Amino acid sequence: MSVSAHRYTVLDVFTDVPLEGNPVAVFDDGTDLSDELMQRTARELNLSETVFLLAPSGRANARARIFTPSLELPFAGHPVLGTAFLIGQRSGSDSVTLETGAGPVPVALRWDGDRVVYGEMEQPIPSAEPFSPAEGLLAALGLSSSGLPIEGYRNGPLHVYVELADEAAVAALEPDMGALAALDGAFGVSCFAGAGDGRRFKTRMFGPSVGVPEDPATGSAAGPLALHLARHGRIDYGREIEIRQGAEIGRPSLLRARVDGRPGHVERVVVGGGAVAVAQGEYRLR
C-alpha cells in the first residue's frame, strides 16, 4: 500500500471570526487523487464542501474540484471564496480566477495591510426554472405557502427559494429532513425572510439530498436570492443586500449579494464576504 501526504488548509468563510461562518478544506494538490478518493476524503472530513486544486486548462490561477460529503458540485460559493483567499494570500494578488465545472469564476480581493480581508466573486449567471414538487416541499418544511413563487435557480447546483413571513418564522423552522431528501432531484432549499428594510435578509438552507442537512453559509444561493428578489420587484437591480445565515447551528455568517442589470437582462451576479484560515495540516491518503 502506497501512502502519500496531502497538505490542506481549513478556512471559515463568510466571516472574519474563527469558528463562525462556513468551513471549507482546501487541498493544495489533488493531481494524483482519483475521483473516488476525493469523494471519500470529503466524506471523511464531513464539511459542507472540500476543494481539491489542480492545474488549470486555461488562464485561471487553478482548477477547483468541489465535493460535498456525497457528491461533486460544478460550483459552490464559499469553497470558491475561501480558495481565492488562500491563493491570494500566498501570492500577494488582489485578484484570483478559479476554473470550476460551471466555468471560470473571478474573485476580487481587498487587502488590509498584509492580510486579505474581503473577497467578491462574479458568479455564473443563474437560470430560473419552475419547481414542480412545490407542494411536497412545503409539506416537508411544515409550511402551507410561500410569499413569492417557489422557483429554482441553477448556477451549477440547483437552489429553490421559499419566502416566509418574517425572520422569527425562518428561525423556527424544523423541516422533515427525510421528506426533503425523498423529493426528486439534488437541490438546496433556501428559506428566507426580509428584515423590513429591503436590504437585510435572513436565510436558512437545507440540502439533505446533496449531503448537507443545514448549511451555515451558502454563497452559491446568495446571488440567485438577490436575482429572485429583483425579478419579483422586492429590490432594485444594482442594490446590494445583506444575508445572515447559520445562527441556528452556531455558525453565524454574513454574505453580501448584488445583481447588476435590468429586468430581462442580467449583467453580473456578485457575492462577497470575508474568510479566515483556522487550521492546516496533512492528510495521509492512498
Positions marked active-site: 49
Q: Cα(21)–Cα(101) distance, rounded to whole angstroms?
A: 24
Extract the C-alpha cell encoding 187: 437541490
* Adjacent-strand bridge partners of 200: 242
In this structure, the strands spanning 265-273 and 151-154 are unpaired
Print burial letters for 143-155: b (CB count within 10 Å at least 16), e (below 16): beebeeebbbbbb
Quick one: how far is CA 276 from the chain centroid? Answer: 16
Extract the C-alpha cell encoding 13: 468563510
Residue closest to 207 by CA, chosen among 117, 73, 106: 73
Q: What letter represents residue 92's amino acid?
A: G
Q: What letter represents residue 269's amino acid?
A: V
